[in-house]
Structures are given as C-alpha cells and as structure tokens.
A and B are shown apart, each in its own frame.
Chain A
Amino acid sequence: MSRLPAVALLLALTACGSGDAGEPGDPGGDDRTLTVLAAASLTGAFDDLAEIFEDAHPGVEVRLSLDSSATLAQQVIAGAPADVLATADLRTMTIAADGDALADDPRTFATNTLVLVTPADDPAGITAFADITGTAYVTCAESAPCGAIARDLLAANGIESPPVSREVDVRAVLTKVVLSEADAGLVYATDAAAAGDEVRTLPVPGAPALRTEYPIALLAAAPAEDLGRAWVDLVLSAEGQQVLARHGFGPAPS
C-alpha cells in the first residue's frame, strides 16, 4: 500500500518524458518506461526478466512495482497508470477483470506449489512430510492463500498436530525457518528457491494438485501498450519460462 504514492509520483514524472517518443509501434524511441505491477513472489524472476527486456529494447526502462496481489488489483481498479498486471492467484486477477481494467483475457504463465522447508541443520530430524507431527512447525494464517492450501494439505495427509504459529504471510513463515526458530514451515517452492542453502526442501504429498496459478494481463489503460504486449510475450516465451523455472516456478499449464 505504501508503494502507491511512490508509483503514482514516478509515473507522473515519467509520463512527461514518454509522451513525445512514446508512440505505439515505435519501440526504438528513447526514454520510454514500461510499468509492471507484479505479485511480491515474482520479485527475483521479474528482476531477471527486466534485465533481459531492457537489453532487447534499448532506451526502455522497466519499472517493477511489487506488492501483494490484492493490493495491486485495487491499485489497478483505482486507475494506477501501469501497463501489465501479474498476480499470484486467479481470484485477484478476477477482481481487476471485474473492474474493467484489463485489455485482454489474462493468461496463466506460471504455477507455484507448497513445499516443506526445514532449517539447513534440520534440528527436528524431519525426512518426510509426515514427520512434522509434534514438531514446532509454522504455516500461513488461513486468511492468506498459502494458509488455506496448507490447511487442506495437512488435512489430506492426516496430520492433526497444529502448527505453533500461523503467520500472516509466507515470508514470515520462511523467516521463522531460516532463523531456526521453527523446525519446519510450509512455503511456496519459489520461497524455498530464494532461500537457497539456508533451508532444506521436502515435497508435500498432494501439493501439485493444489498448485496456485499466476495470470498475467495487459491493462486497458496501458500508457505503453506495445511494450506491455512485448513483456507478456517475453514472460510466456521459452526464455521467460526458463527464468521462471530457475526461481522455482512450475511451467504454465498447456
């Protein structure tokens, strides 16, 4: 939420610069800006993609505004002048679609599944998902999508011992594990990938069936429509998919 004024200010400033050179179909123009609103879990992958995009489009600057999907959807409906929206679930994208903010139908470009992570030294000796019974493990609160999925996975695997904490978002879950305060935690595969060697990652039985889908769409009010389209194409391209896979995302369903 705190990003909104900053984004608005940046856009107000760059709007002047893009006016003269920013005609559609003029990708070679100088000092143009592409603004992408993306779910916070896309941070690493979209940073990499932004570099690739800027190399392919000289003179174009990619601005990423990263926040929770729900916040971004609200910003888009409120008229934030951005080009592309990428959210971490279909529900929030539907909110933007219902607000007539999208230019096209959204397309799913990546998936994410929950995995079990433990601290690198695995203090509780967890070798399979079922081992978390009786340990100090943490999940998201059920008000967050990751918490709702975690609840279903625990039930599906017949695990009745409750977590010691229900964190408000998935980053807080990861932090508790990285700091070794918790024995284990349920986070997204992308969070586990971002934590690298600091955590051990174990699969959760049944998780692929409860994967989340990441949709992307060009915005109706996009100031740089051509660049927005090019960004969506890059994300869906083989190169884009490779970058996403490197950050722990699953492929777009075909």
Chain B
Amino acid sequence: MNKEEFLNELKKGLSGIPENDRNERVTFYSEMIDDRIEEGMSEEEAVSAIGDVNKIISQIMAETPMTTIVKERVNKKKGGISPSTLILIVILFPLWLPILAVVFGLTIALFATLWSLVVAFYAVTVALVVGGAISIVWVLGMLFTGHLTGAALGVGAGLFCIGLGILMVFGCIAFTKGAIKLTVDVLVSIKKKLVGKENQ
C-alpha cells in the first residue's frame, strides 16, 4: 500500500468524525510517513511502519465519544435531504403519520401483551399456592365434622395445587427471563435503526 492509498483509506474510514478532526488526523499521518521516507525508508516500508489502517481507524472510532459521532451523523443527514425530498415528506404527511402511529402503537401493544402474560403467569401461580393452602385448612375443618372422604379429597386437591404452583414458579422465572431478553432485544434493534450501522 502506498501513501496515497493509506491516506484515502484512512479518510474513508473516518467519515463518521467531524471534518476538521478528520483532516487534522490525515495530515498527522501524512507527516509521519514523509518523515520516515526522508529518513531513508521506501514509501511502502514507511506506510507499513505506521501499522494496519483498519486497526488505526477502529482505535480512533473507539476513542471518539459516541455523542460526537451521532452529532456528525445528524449534521450530515440534514445536509443530505434535498428540498424536493423535504416537500415530498411534508406532502405525504397524512400518509406516513398514521403508519408511524400504527407501528408505534403495535410495538407498545406487543410489550403490553407480553408483560400482561408475565403478570398473569405469576397471578396463576400465586392463586394455585394460596388456593391449595386454603383448601387444606378448610378441609381440616371438615375432619371435625366427620366427612372423612371429603377431607381426603380436599387434602389431595390442595397438595396438588400447591405442587403445581411450586412447579410453575420455575416456569415463571424462565418466562420472565425470556420476556426481559425479548424486550431488550427489541429496544436495542430500534436503537440500532436510529443510530445507524457504522457506529457499532
């Protein structure tokens, strides 16, 4: 790779940072290569002594604050919308606003459904355990009145409910974990869509 190729790659890779900063960095590397050539290295040697251009780019991007990158992106986007596109966006306002609202509403509804299911799951579990416990206590009352068959049946049903409830606790935990993961995944992918691919 010669000097020009290196500097072009660098410039391209740093398109996400503000222009001043980018030009200054490119000049800095250009000077570094020239100084090595002056010392007697060949152009190729001087470039390879600087290191891998992609590594340099990712190091710089990692050092640059996220806010700077996002700001630069927003600035670029503003400049990128042509007047005709802008007019089109405004004219089609009655069309895209309902669509946006529907997508937004659907997302909220999805989350609401998901989390109500989680709540319902817990409610059923609690109902089973509490119901089972009450039925056993109630059955103890039946013992004193002499209804033995009824009492045995009641104790059995109560124990069954409690057992099922305890088993469901594990299901609840797994279900909650899944719901949390899904929520996080969806939110992260929305964020990625907003911020753009270059910044990950």
**Do they bind each other?**
no
Binding site for A on B (CB under 8 A): none
